[in-house]
Amino acid sequence: MSTDQDYSQAVEVAREYYNSDDADNFYSIIWGGEDIHVGMYRSDEEPIFDASRRTVAHMAGRVKSYLGPDARVLDIGAGYGGAARYLAKTYGCRVAALNLSEVENERDRKMNAEQGVDHLIEVVDASFEEVPYPDASFDVVWSQDAILHSGDRPKVLQEVLRLMRSGGRFVFTDPMAADDCPPGVLSPILERIHLDSLGSPGWYIDTLQELGLIDEGYEDHAHQLTNHYSRVLRELESREDELQGRVSAQYVERMKKGLRHWIEGGRNGYLAWGVFLFSKPGS
Q: Find all residues with CB under 8 Å of 171, minimum gap 6, and list them.
A: 59, 62, 63, 140, 141, 142, 143, 275, 276, 277, 278
Q: Are 85 and 111 in contact (CB under 8 A)?
A: yes
- In the DSSP assignment, the letter for residue 212 is T
Give Cα 186 to chain centroid, integer Å: 20
What does the pLDDT read at residue 4?
Answer: 45
Whole-angstrom CA distances from 112 to 58, 74, 118, 271 are 22, 16, 5, 34
Please state the pTM of the whole predicted model: 0.92
Q: Are 159 and 130 in contact (CB under 8 A)?
A: yes
> How far is the C-alpha of 118 from the C-alpha of 95, rounded, in Å?
10
Q: Find all residues with CB under 8 Å of 183, minimum gap 6, and list them.
A: none
pLDDT by residue for the chain (283 residues), tens digit each?
Answer: 544 455 555 555 555 555 577 877 888 888 777 888 999 999 998 999 999 999 999 999 999 999 999 999 999 999 999 999 999 999 999 999 999 888 889 999 999 999 999 999 999 999 899 999 999 999 999 999 999 988 899 999 999 999 999 999 999 999 999 999 999 999 999 988 888 899 999 999 999 999 999 999 999 999 999 999 999 999 999 999 988 888 888 988 999 999 999 999 999 999 999 999 999 998 6
What does the pLDDT read at residue 7?
Answer: 53
